[in-house]
Each structure stands twice: as structure tokens, then as C-alpha cells.
A and B are shown apart, each in its own frame.
Chain A
Amino acid sequence: MSIHQVESQHSAECWSCGSAHGDDTLFFCNQCGAIQAASDTADYFQLLGVEPTFMVNLPVIEGKYKALQRKLHPDMYATKQKVEQDFSADQSSLVNKAYATLVNPLSRAIYLLRLRGIEAGDGEEGTMSDFELLSEVMEIREAIEEAEDIGGLQKLHQENAEKMRQSGAAFAAALQAGELQQALEWVHRMTYWDRIDKEITRKL
């Protein structure tokens, strides 16, 4: 939430020409093309124009993101009115957040759950009651500690990436089947893999 958004609430009409917004108005007026206030209802998938699923096509997201920033970035509004500059700053910021959330598997999974009313934390801490998983995580941590060369770490890194991929796939399946509780547990696993990933990269 930035200062601009407080000042200019998303309204039902174009600030410039006064025509009513369509259902799909996210960034620009359908009539006059003027940039509009950032939507406070659209979710990140809608903003980037992709299906709200876990298995996203990353290159497509990258492409859509850049196409949007080309049109929304404040650099493009240097010679425009103040109101347009403010809208551009908010819209560009929002698109950046949407992109950052969707491009990372863990934050994307957490966001998908949030859209379904389930709060899985922010991916930085997770509570874990699955002892099997806990001991697995402990083992990996020890292996990281003991790894002596880059090669060993890289192997662990690859294994971890594979676990992340598998957990992601399982999460996607659970979500699709509507098994939200299960999906949440997979997110917890992903949280651990993500943390391990960070630990390994710190040592690499």
C-alpha cells in the first residue's frame, strides 16, 4: 500500500474521460486509454493475465510482466500529468509484487492458498509436526554442514531442487483435488526445501 493509493481510490469511472470501467479494466481505460488507479480487487494472476494455477508457464509470466512494465513503468510517464505519474507508480509497484510472488514456486503456492482463505505464513517460518520430515530435514542439514567441497554441495543442491519440484507437483495435485489441508502440508515441506536451498547457496 503506497501513499498514492490512499489518495486515489479505485473508482468505477475513468478519471480522465468519465466513461464507466468494464469488468476487465485493470490498468487502462477502455475508452480513452488513460492509465487508471491500481485495482484493489484483482488478484496477482488476473493482473498478469495468467490462469490461477500452480503449474504456470514461467516464460509466459516473464513476457507478460515485461509487456506490462513497458506500459506502466514510471519512466514512461515523465512528461505526463501528476495523477498519471502517481497511478503509474502504484500500478508498476503492484505488478512488481505480483510478478515476484508468482515467479517463485513457494510464494506462488502460499498465495494460491491465501486466495482460498488459508494463511500459510510468509514462507519464512513453518510449524512442523511431521517427525519423518523433521528428521529428514535434520539429516540434510547435517549433510550440508559436513559437505567439504563444492561438488558435494552442488549434489545436495540438485537433490533439494528435485524435492522442491516433487512437493510442488504434489501441492498442485492436492490443490486441484480441493484437498486444501494436504496442500497446506505440501507448502510446509516446500518451506523447508526453500530454506535448505538458501542454506546451501550461502555455503556454495
Chain B
Amino acid sequence: MVRPILYRLADCPNSSLCRRLFLPPLLSPLLRDVPFVSSEFPTPSCAAFPLQFVRTDQQLSFSSSFRTGASYQPLGFPQESSLGGTKQPGVKSKKRDISAQFAPGASFPAQMADLMESEDFFHQAVTEERRPGDPSGAKDDVSRLSPAIGIDLGTSYSRVAVWHEGEIKLVPLDENNNTEIPSCVGLGGSPDDSPGENILIGWPAFQLLPQGRAIHRARRIVGRVDTDESLQLGARFWPFLVQLPGIGIRPVIALKKGDRWESVNAEEVLALQLHYLRRAAERFLGRDVSDAVLTSPAAFTRFQCGRLAAAAAAAGLRVRRIVAEPNAVGLLYAAQEKQRESARRKGTGRSEAAGGAGKSDRGKGTGAPGEQKESGRGKETEGPKSDEKESEDKEKNVLVFHLGSGYCSVGIVCIDDGVSQSRAIAGAAFGTDDFVNNLVARALTDPRTRAPAPDAPTDRKTLFWLWQTYREAMVQLSESEFVDLPEDPALGKTLSRAEFEESNEGLFRACVDMVTRCLADARLKPREVQEVHLLGGGVRINKLEVRKGREYDDELVKGAALEAAIAGGVPGVDTGLLLLQGINHPLGIKVEGDVFQPILSRNALIPTSRELIFTTIKDNQEQAIIQFYEGEQPVVEQNVFLGCLQVAPLPRARAGFPKIIVCLDVDAGDALRAHARVEMPPGDYEDPPGPLPEPLVVKLPSVDVGHGWCKEALRIKYGTSADVRLYETAPTGVRKKDA
């Protein structure tokens, strides 16, 4: 059984467990009355999510129920789990093996180019060759029977789960049946520059980190620019090459190949990881996998999500949904609560049918796919009043706090009878890595002058070693007030908890601020939050040794797998389960004076859309450039540029006359589309205003190099000549009053 991830305040009277996660002591004044409830996850009584694992001494192995039917193939992992070079045994797939296209020794980018080019081929292969290749699925409902997989491509660890044979299963990712592997990509093979090297993923790559022959934490880099302060601070301590010239470009990263640096980019690294994970899922399921639901930190911008989706596409995966971390946890929890509830009802002898609306739960594995699904919908019935009361009582507000190694995500979800509704979400681009960064930075600073210590080490290897030492020390601080550090001139003698907390005061404060903001956004008082769920991977990344058979943070990937099954209409999934997600950051456009005009607000539940009317700022303005941004800042420059629409030619008219109608539309899959059209209000025109530009629709983000240059370039080229402002519809009420 999976070890519980949530901590009960009662479980840790001396708050040692809380210390482990750092946060409860900080959050507890804020959430004074809230029990840090945990439930065992999953509970032994929870029939919906039995995990088919048996724990042996060193690793997890599968119980007898591990069968995948006719297409089952024994797991055959090559010795080095390589992507390139060697042929992978044990994969019974008639389609051409994509990895076979990698020529041994070909350079990284060239291999990626191959991978990208092979995309068309790949999708073709999946659709054309599945039928002969897959004995079990022959008809159109193949896609229905083969749900998307859930992937948690974490900053430090990756996991895959899938709805399979009526339950959520974690996918073994390497020859040791580890269900989580480090998010590392490395170049293996001979240390000299001779051909025959392999791309390594996971643990084998992890071993190469200290030598600079592997990349980790690509998710921290993806979609960010070299001016990013947090990257600037943290990248010094990475063992591979990171160059941040600070000019607004994508960070240059490279790994060691022989004695040279081979440059890669974060998307490529993510694509290689995703490809590996996809292949592991295919092995496990014995079928092709083409769709995935990914989790993302709440802080991820749409630009970053877009880069993630591009990496997935390069790995042959279509992204069905990107689920923000707190929502993934919320959905899984909602499902488990519902399961518990129905188990309880059965236990007390009450008929489940008494539930009424929304009780289309037909349990798992009871067969009859699709029938109740039809009857559950299509009728516009609402439960009788008594039902509403009941569901009201069951409603639970749950605060999810996830401090990973690269990102921190906070969310409040409302759990009610299988539905998880997002009430508020907040995220920040820091994680436990940054806590360590601060410790190392402090160690390298002369305490008196506050300048870098003169004898501070500068070489990559030593810095990485220092960083790892402090990371280890940070974990030990969970259990003791002081930690003795190894003897080294660059280190002090000990590290105390007080020092740790002092170095990271700002980050602690930011954690609390996020919770406060979520509570305010959700319009909830702390005591209205019934439960707090804490999870975080940062604290466990510390030991360098391979730790087999230990699982944490599985909820994220299980939630993603569950959402994949729900959104894919997989038979056997409780149709009463539903995830209602919101928008993570406000979306809007730039208006006159470099002001950000939000159109869709943070936490608006999706799908949603809203239109606002804008107009010209100059007489006879020839065109309008609608610039789309995402972010919280009133000054548009400080937000993330998503793309622009050129609305031209505008009809000749006085300033403030043409109506430029801009609509932002976010669908259930969180895809954002911008619509723009022009209307002329009726009136007497001296000159006929001329034809109107055709309505436009564009999917955002529409730029693939955000990087701040686009807004600068737009400013240089157009100045304010294509700006817009809000169209003034004088409130009728006000006019009445004046009259």
C-alpha cells in the first residue's frame, strides 16, 4: 500500500513532520482552526484505487493481477534504457520504431529534428497500423478503449499513470519497476567522443549529473528567459553548462560530450523524457499511446504550457488537458471521497439509489459501459430539496499546498460528491531548490562585506557538490536543530535551523502570501477550509542513492490519469466525477498608455469566454494591433506576451468611433483563442467608412519566442499608432441621473 503523503497535525506533536515540509508551522497561525486532516491515501477500504503492487525488500513488483490480455508483452528494458542506438527488445509494435531513426552518435539537435520530422509519420503510423497491429481493438472505439495516459513530468521526478482495467495504475518506468524516475536526460556510452553513445533517461542519467553529462530540471527552464532572476541565482549550482547572458533569450544549456559542451534546449530535453515515458506506457499497456494529460505548476504561464505541449508533440503525444497540480489532487480526492461515501452508505444499509441526481455511479468493473451514462444525462432534472441539503453538508473546501523542487502551487478546491471545483489558485516559480540556493548563496557570501567571499569556489563541480551538501543538510534539519557539515573550507561547521529559516525568510513569506491570496480569492475564511493537503517532492530529492520502492506525490499523476479517463469518456469510470478548473492568470490586452486591460479574470471557471469592446485612439487610425498578455500586473510590460492580432484596414472614422470587439475564449481543454472583429455603430457618415476587415480568430500563444522582444519590436515599429482603448458606453443609469 502506498504510504500516506498527507500529514496529520496530530501525528507530529513536536512538529517534526511539519518541519519536514516546513510549512505547517507557518501556515498554522493563518489556518488556526483548520485540522491538517489526512486520510490514508488511498485508504485500505477504498476499492476504487487498489494498487496492484506488492512491496518486497528493495523494490515494488506487480501482483498476480498484472495482466494486459492478449497484447501483453513482458517488460523488456534494455540494459541502459536507451532511446537511441540500440534496438529495444520486447516491444511488439508493428509500426516503425521511432528510436531506430536515431543514428548512433548523431548530435542531439539533429536527433531532435529527426524526431520532429517523424511526427507526421508517427501519427499516420498510429492510425493506420493500429488495426492490424492491435488484436484487441479493431473498430472506431479503439480510442475510447485506450485512454490517454496521465503524466506528471515533475521538476525532479517523473511519473506515469493510466486508467487500465478499471483502475488507476502507476506505470513501471524502468527495468527495476520504479514508478518514478528522475527527470534527467544524459549522454551515456563511452566517455571519449567516439560514436556509440546513447541518450539516457532517468536513473542512468541521474548518475551522470555530477560529471555534467546530464541535464536535470528542464521544467524549470522551459519557457523562461535568461533574465529570470531565479534562474540567474540557481543556475550557478547546476552541474551542466548554463549560459544566461541576460538579454532576453532562451537560456543556453549544454551537456558534456567528451570534453566539449553539446547545446540542447529545454523543450528537446522534455521531449526526450516524454518520449521515454510514452514508450514505457506502451510497453505496460501493450498498445500505442498517442494522448496524454499533463500536470503543470499553477505558476506556469500559457507560454510555458505551450512549450510543454510542443515538447509532447515532438514526443508523439497529443496533450488532451493540462491540469494544474492542485486540481489534479482535488479530483483524485473527490473521487476517493465519493468512493468512501458510497462504501459508507452501503455499509449502513442505505440504498445508493436514494441519492438521486448525480448518483450515476455504477462502480468500477460492473460492466455495462455507456448505458447509465446516457440515462444520467439528457434529462433536466434536479434532485429534490433534501438532496441539495445533503450535498451541501458533504461539500468540503480543501486547501492543497504543493511545494515541489521547482515550483510552488497552492489551490483551494471545493469537493462535492465527485466534483472538484477550483475556487482559487496561486503559484510561484520557486521550490525547495530555491531554499537550497539561498543557503549556498549565503555560504558563498562574506558575512561582513555582503560581497562574494574572495575564496569562494567557482568551478561547476564544486558548486554542485556544495549545493548537494546543503540539500542534504536541509533535509536533516527536519529532524534536528543542527546539522554538522562535512569538513571543507567552503562550508561552515554546522547549519542550524535558525540559519536556514533566516536565509529563506522571503520564500516562507511568499508561501504564506499565496495561501492568503487564495483564501481571499475564494472568499473564504480560514475556518471555512475543512482540510489542508500538503505534498511536496522537494524534501525527498536529497539522497543521491537510488531509492527504490518509495513513492510520494503519486496523487498528481493519478489525478491526471483520472482526468484523462473522464475527459476521454472511458467506460467504467464513474460518470459522476468531474473536474472544474479555472484560469490560472488573468488574460487581457494592452490598451493606450501601456495599461493591461484584463478580459478574463483569474479563477474564472472554464470553459468560458468574454468580449470587451475597444476603439481607436486617433482619427482615421488605419489599423489596430491587439496585443494579448497574461499576468497579474497593471503595467502591461510586466506581463507575459502571448501574441498579437493585426486588425486592418480600419474604416475611416473619428477616434473612438469604430467598435473593435475582442473576445477571449478558453475551452474545456484550456486552449485559448482570441477573436477580433470590427463594427461601425450606425450613424451619418460623411464619407462611406469602407469595408470592414474580416473577423479573425487566432489560437494563443501565437508566438514561439515570447522573450520580451516582440513587445519591444512592436513598440519600435508602431509606437502608439495602432493602440486601442476601451470603447465608452456611457452607463445609462448615469445619464439618467444627469437629466
Residues of chain A touching chain B, judged by Cβ–Cβ distance below 8 Å, are 1-3, 26-29, 32-35, 49, 59-60, 62-64, 66-67, 69-71, 73-80, 89, 92-93, 96-97, 99-100, 113, 117-121, 127, 181, 184, 201, 204
Contact = CB atoms under 8 A, between A and B. Distances in A.
B708 interface: no
B285 interface: no
Query: Which 6 A-B pairs have CB atoms at the shortest separation, nearest pair first?
Result: A33-B378, A78-B569, A201-B520, A74-B668, A79-B569, A93-B607
Contacts of A60: 388
Interface string B652-671: 00000000000101011100
B663 A1 contact: yes
B611 A181 contact: no
B688 interface: no
A201 B606 CA distance: 24
Contacts of A73: 578, 580, 668
Contacts of A93: 606-609, 665
14 contacts: A63-B392, A66-B421, A70-B578, A74-B668, A75-B566, A75-B567, A75-B668, A89-B607, A93-B608, A93-B609, A99-B605, A118-B733, A184-B733, A204-B516
A200 B376 CA distance: 44
B737 interface: yes
Interface string B349-378: 000000001100000000000100010111
A24 B609 CA distance: 25
Interface string B410-421: 000010110101
For A33, A70, A97, A184, the residue with the greatest tally of chain B CB atoms inside 10 Å of its CB is A70
Nearest to B734: A127
Nearest to B571: A79
Interface of B: 141, 144, 357-358, 370, 374, 376-380, 382-383, 388, 391-392, 395, 414, 416-417, 419, 421, 516-517, 520-521, 563, 566-569, 575-576, 578-580, 604-611, 663, 665, 667-669, 673, 675, 697, 729, 731-734, 736-737
Nearest to A71: B377
Contacts of A127: 731, 734
A96 B378 contact: no
A25 to B, nearest CB: 9
Contacts of B421: 66
Contact of A92 (B566, B567, B668, B736): B668
A28 B731 contact: no
Contacts of B733: 113, 118-120, 181, 184
A34 B566 CA distance: 20
Contact of A96 (B141, B578, B608, B737): B608
B604 A33 contact: no
Given A60-B388, A75-B563, 4 more contacts: A66-B417, A71-B376, A78-B567, A93-B609
A29 B697 CA distance: 31
Given A70-B578, A76-B377, A63 B391 contact: yes
Nearest to A66: B419
Contact of B382 (A26, A34, A49, A204): A49
A26 B668 contact: no
Given A70-B576, A76-B575, A96-B608, A89 B668 contact: yes
Contacts of A121: 731
A96 B580 CA distance: 10
Contacts of B611: 1
Contacts of B729: 119
B697 A3 contact: yes
A201 B517 contact: yes
Contact of B604 (A67, A79, A96, A181): A96
A5 to B, nearest CB: 9
Contacts of A96: 604-608
A196 B182 CA distance: 47
B667 A75 contact: no
Given A60-B388, A113-B733, A118-B733, A97 B377 contact: no
B34 to A, nearest CB: 17
B665 A26 contact: no
Contact of A28 (B370, B378, B566, B667): B378
B574 to A, nearest CB: 11
A100 B416 contact: no
